[in-house]
Amino acid sequence: MQNKGLIKLFAILFGLVSLYQLSFTFLANKVEDNAKVYAEKNVKDNDARQKATLERKYLDSVANKKIIDLGVAQYTYNDVRDKEMNLGLDLKGGINAILQVSVKEVLKSLSNDSKNEAFNKALETADERQKNSNATYLDLFFEEFEKVAGDTKLSDPSIFGTKALSDKISFNEDNFTVRETLQEEINSSIGTAFEVLRSRIDKFGVTSPNIQRIGNSGRIQIELPGAKDIERVTKLITSKAELQFWEVYTNAEVQNFFFTANTKVAELLKDNTTTEQVKDSTEKDDIDDLLGDVVDSTKVQKNLFTYLMPNFAQSQQQMSSLVAQASVRDTAMVNELLGKKEIRDLLPNELRYVKFLWDYKTFTPVKPANAGDDYESRELIGLYAVKSNRNDKPTIEGDVILDAAQVFDQLNKPEVSMTMNSSGSKQWAKMTADNVGRFVAVVLDDYVYTAPSVNQAITGGRTSISGGSMTIEEAEDIATVLKAGKLPAAARIVEAEVVGPSLGQEAIDASFLSFGLAIALVLLWMILYYGKAGLFADVALLVNILFIFGILASFNAVLTLPGIAGIILTIGMSVDANVIIFERIKEGLFKKKGLKQSVEEGFSVKGALSAIIDANITTLLTGIILYVFGTGPIKGFALTLMIGIATSLFTAVFITRLLIDGSINRGTNLTFNTSISKGWFQNINLTFLRKRKIAYIISGAIILGGIASLVTIGLKQGVDFKGGRSYTVRFDKDMNATDVASTLKDAFGTAPEVKTYGTSNQLKITTVYKIDEEGQEVDEQVQNTLYNGLKPYIGTTSYEDFKPGFEKAENANGIMSYRKVDPTIADDIKTSALYAVFGSLLIVFLYILLRFRKISFSIGAVVAVFHDVLIVLGVFSITYSFMPFDMEIGQSFIAAILTVVGYSLNDTVVIFDRIREFAGIHTKWKYSEVVDKALSSTLGRTINTSLTTLLVMLAIFLFGGDSIKGFMFALIVGVIVGTYSSLFVATPIMFDASKKEEKNN
């Protein structure tokens, strides 16, 4: 081998750089472990929220302290943290969300909220179509507008031909040109939303946040590993930050209306039909809690005050901006009743445009001293009445704010200080002057944050948002969203995954256990099979692992659970290169060639190198497809797989060669076997092709059985593909999934899918309840409904402790992880998955055709891949109902299928390469003899590699954690089937196709 010195130097330098990069991870972990110890010592009652706050406090206190001094360079904790290898959501906990910027809202805004009938009809129909379409919202809107518009154009003054767009859209401009302008405006709005969200997230304070746009879909992906306060995060990223200042009606001014409305509501609810309708709507939120001990809702007279508690003013001193209060669970009913036309018609002229808004924060009233044991503590929320107008425009809007910051008031309570521009200063001075002795409300995203009385006109353009119970974090978040600016359109979460830190730590423990076991098995097997040469391969393998982690750390890549699976899989597959080389060397030794010549030939292109390169390229192509079409964890898996392929190729070919050459130069006699493995897979001369018809019958029968199951039983589609919400809930005792499903049927209306997940005290609960409804409050309602439905099983566990996010005690009741996928994005995920599968098959077909120059080789490879995929699908269809682990078909399953494709092709290409070699050497042999001899000569490599890979996969399957068992089961089935198909399907199909090819020629 030439340039040995250069290769040694490169390997040593690369190893040192890898160790240097990984050292930052070890140092950062040490500081973070100290933070956990500090929090454990100082936390009271093991409060998870307080523990997280104490950890953050400790890390903030050491953020700028020097923890490394190398003389030439010094590093603080912040410096080290920026250079550490980042853990993904599934290992560290946190939230991964995809937000959809509302294109509909952008269009409505651009049209100045047009009332044009065709325009609004097109929007309405586009909404419905988007639920089951992969087309963009703008394309759907355009198609629907063309159907209903008649002679009306988009450039009509009643739609987009407005003054605001006059410089971009000309009068009577054709629809196609207007559409291009609209696309530019939409892209601009999405870009603005991206920048606003990035600004908010950068100030949130989590390690290595990730935010990226997803093509031109209007979607933005946000990943915040380590985030524990999930409620705070979702509020921060979905808040539109629309700040408004309104004049306010007092409780005295609206109380007469409440009395009148109360009587009218009683009349409306007298009718049985109406009563039943109201009952149905409230049942969704929790009818039992709402009605208390009431058994028959049709027999008890209800009115507005059943749900709303007005704040009556009997004197001037009792005047307030707070007009009423209600239980949180009754807010939907209050909104419905106050929004009814019959009720709005009762408003006097001076209240004609009143708008009722809720407080931003709930509170729990103090339990009365004389209350009995049956007293039920309810969360309450305040209601305000702001002075709206015909156009629903506030007196002052938030675009006048120049700056915002969290400060403390005179009583040392947190508040948000705001500075206005000159125009806002004048408006604010006038508004406060006009309302001396009255109230004004500061409203953010339609929630009232404060509604104080005005004592005097406020000049100078400064004001503040404060509340008696506002926390520092809330004040910081409000300041953050105001400084970052408001979103140009609402952004709602269409896909979300939340993993609690407790589950993340368990995943880390399981991953390292499986990782260590997998390495140990591979190292032992290589020594057992190849002796000292196997030891050299082990050294190369350990260097390979160092290189993989070093590269991941150098590029600040995020390590995920599928990523660790990718590394472990790479370990199993990287052994393949050494196996191929060693088997070729053994062939040379068997033919009585010298050791040096055999080694030289084994590492040459004519020897093993050609097959190694071809096999690695096919797997690399699969990894690229996974990376392009995958999202989140799948990208992590693909990235580590691709890095592993590159590093394993270098270590197997060069590091192993250096060690073997060094041993030979020292006079060591390498045999590439041991006393145990000596003679294995030698002098094999099987006639594979004669058995091909039997193989076709066996494969055909298995595939037909699988297809029959797919048609009759189908596959268990996960929320990725069908939409819905999935919760992993842990209990303090063993649970019966059937009983829980039956109990939750009453809460959700239909029985959710409930299955034991891992341990017997952990369930996976999947439901489509309210999945078609939009809004952040819907997610909260569904979670609350789940909590109330599980009340019989979780005892006194509070809702705060039940929610996902903060660390949970070992046997605590609560949500460990949560996943939500809207139906609108589920179709897109499914389509992307299909593109990935067929795209990989097409690329591999073309590569093999290019490499082997015969279409019969491509046909054999692709037919074998289809064979493997169909069998894996059939196995999943037949077994998912009784397997004791999750076997949902989702993005991870597609990743497994593509990995199976890559592995199967890897095996097939090695065999095809040997057939091509034998065909060139033994020109007088029959082609059937060439094929059989080639298969026999590679049998040792095929079984050895498959066995090694299976050992690794079994280690992950048994010890790698619950969330990855289905993924690994697919890989195990795929490896077994792929090994079989490369011998008994791919090669025979190639042989039969080549005979037809010859006849046609």
How confident is the model over 938-969, as pLDDT tens digits? 887 788 878 888 887 888 788 776 777 888 88
Q: What is the pLDDT of residue 708?
A: 93
Per-residue pLDDT band for 700 (boundaries 50, 70, 90) equals very high
**pLDDT exceeds cutoff 60 at 297:** no
**pLDDT exceeds cutoff 70 at 2:** no
Residue with the bigger pLDDT between 926 and 207: it is 926
**pLDDT exceeds cutoff 80 at 325:** yes
Residue whose pair of structure tokens reads 């494969």 in the numeric block: 699
AA letter at 803: K
Strand locations in 795-924, DSSP E?
A: 814-821
How confident is the model over 95-118, as pLDDT tens digits? 878 888 888 888 888 888 888 888
Q: Residue 180, exposed/middle/buried by CB under 10 A (0-12, 13-18, 19+)?
A: exposed
Residue 405 CA to residue 627 CA, distance in Å, equals 41
Residue 506 CA to residue 246 CA, distance in Å, equals 50
Query: Which neighbouring-strand residues pair with 385?
Result: 356
Helix H or strand E encompassing 201 = helix 175-202
How confident is the model over 757-797, as pLDDT tens digits? 777 888 888 888 888 777 667 888 888 889 888 988 888 88
Mean pLDDT of 368-372: 62
Q: What is the pLDDT of residue 213?
A: 77
How does strand 491-499 pair with strand 558-559?
Answer: unpaired
Residue 187 CA to residue 488 CA, distance in Å, equals 11
Q: Residue 203, exposed/middle/buried by CB under 10 A (0-12, 13-18, 19+)?
A: middle
Mean pLDDT of 631-637: 68
Q: What is the pLDDT of residue 715?
A: 83
How does strand 491-499 pair with strand 814-821?
Answer: antiparallel
CB atoms within 10 A of CB 628: 14
Looking at the chain, the whole-number percentage of residues with pLDDT higher than 90 is: 6
Per-residue pLDDT band for 55 (boundaries 50, 70, 90) equals confident
How confident is the model over 200-250, as pLDDT tens digits? 776 665 556 777 777 666 788 888 777 777 777 787 777 777 788 889 999
CB atoms within 10 A of CB 915: 24
Residue 613 CA to residue 607 CA, distance in Å, equals 11
How confident is the model over 568-593, as pLDDT tens digits? 767 766 777 888 888 888 888 877 88
User: Do the beta carbons of residue 301 and residue 270 sit within 8 Å?
Assistant: yes
Residue 841 is given by DSSP the state H
Residue 975 CA to residue 952 CA, distance in Å, equals 11
Helix, strand, or coil here: 458? Answer: coil
Q: What is the pLDDT of residue 295?
A: 39
How does strand 94-101 pair with strand 491-499?
Answer: antiparallel
Q: What is the pLDDT of residue 961?
A: 67
Looking at the chain, the whole-number percentage of residues with pLDDT higher than 70 is: 89
Torsion of CA 287, 289, 293, 297, to 10 degrees: -20
Mean pLDDT of 913-924: 83
Measure CA 666 to chain center: 54
Q: What is the pLDDT of residue 72?
A: 66
Q: What is the pLDDT of residue 454?
A: 81
Per-residue pLDDT band for 562 (boundaries 50, 70, 90) equals confident
Q: What is the pLDDT of residue 632?
A: 60
Q: What is the pLDDT of residue 486?
A: 66
Per-residue pLDDT band for 698 (boundaries 50, 70, 90) equals very high
Q: What is the pLDDT of residue 573?
A: 67
CB atoms within 10 A of CB 143: 15
Q: What is the pLDDT of residue 757?
A: 79
**pLDDT exceeds cutoff 60 at 442:** yes
User: Do the beta carbons of residue 406 and residue 472 sit within 8 Å?
Assistant: yes
Cα–Cα–Cα angle for 969, 970, 972, nearest 5°? Answer: 65
Mean pLDDT of 469-485: 72
Report the range of poorest mean pLDDT among 159-168, 273-282, 296-305, 544-553: 273-282
Average pLDDT, the chain: 80
What is the largest distance, in Å, between two alpha-carbon atoms of the chain?
113
Helix H or strand E encompassing 812 = none
Per-residue pLDDT band for 707 (boundaries 50, 70, 90) equals very high
Residue 636 CA to residue 90 CA, distance in Å, equals 11
Q: Residue 912, exposed/middle/buried by CB under 10 A (0-12, 13-18, 19+)?
A: buried
**509-514 contacts at long range (C-beta below 8 A, 24 or more positions apart):** 510/959, 510/960, 510/961, 511/91, 511/561, 511/564, 511/960, 511/961, 513/959, 513/960, 514/568, 514/955, 514/956, 514/958, 514/959, 514/960, 514/961
Short-list 323, 245, 329, 250, CA closest to 285: 329
**pLDDT exceeds cutoff 60 at 272:** no
Q: What is the pLDDT of residue 354?
A: 92
Per-residue pLDDT band for 367 (boundaries 50, 70, 90) equals low
Q: Residue 732, exposed/middle/buried by CB under 10 A (0-12, 13-18, 19+)?
A: middle
Q: What is the pLDDT of residue 572?
A: 67
Measure CA 118 to chain center: 38
pTM: 0.67
Strand order in the sheet with 491-499: 210-214, 219-225, 94-101, 491-499, 814-821, 724-730, 762-767, 753-756
Residue 906 CA to residue 982 CA, distance in Å, equals 9
Short-list 113, 796, 793, 11, CA closest to 390: 113
Helix, strand, or coil here: 571? Answer: helix
R_g over Cα of the chain: 34
**pLDDT exceeds cutoff 60 at 280:** no
Q: What is the pLDDT of residue 260?
A: 92
Per-residue pLDDT band for 71 (boundaries 50, 70, 90) equals low
Report the range of poorest mean pLDDT among 74-88, 275-289, 298-312, 933-947: 275-289
Short-list 571, 450, 591, CA closest to 521: 571
Q: What is the pLDDT of residue 443?
A: 84
**pLDDT exceeds cutoff 70 at 274:** no
Mean pLDDT of 323-345: 88
Residue with the bigger pLDDT between 121 and 605: it is 121
Per-residue pLDDT band for 368 (boundaries 50, 70, 90) equals low
What is the phi-psi region of residue 412: left when phi exceeds 0, alpha when psi lies from -120 to 50, beta otherwise?
A: left
**pLDDT exceeds cutoff 60 at 889:** yes
CA–CA distances in Å: residue 907 to residues 819, 914, 980: 36, 11, 10
Cβ-Cβ contacts under 8 Å for 759 (sequence gap 6 or more): 962
User: Do the beta carbons of residue 354 and residue 254 sit within 8 Å?
Assistant: yes
Q: What is the pLDDT of residue 390?
A: 85
Torsion of CA 983, 986, 987, 989, to 10 degrees: 130
**pLDDT exceeds cutoff 70 at 467:** no
AA letter at 930: V
**pLDDT exceeds cutoff 50 at 291:** no
In this structure, what token pair is assigned to residue 690?
Answer: 């004669």
Report the range of poorest mean pLDDT among 119-133, 165-179, 461-475, 837-851: 461-475
Per-residue pLDDT band for 373 (boundaries 50, 70, 90) equals low
Cα–Cα–Cα angle for 209, 480, 496, nearest 5°? Answer: 45
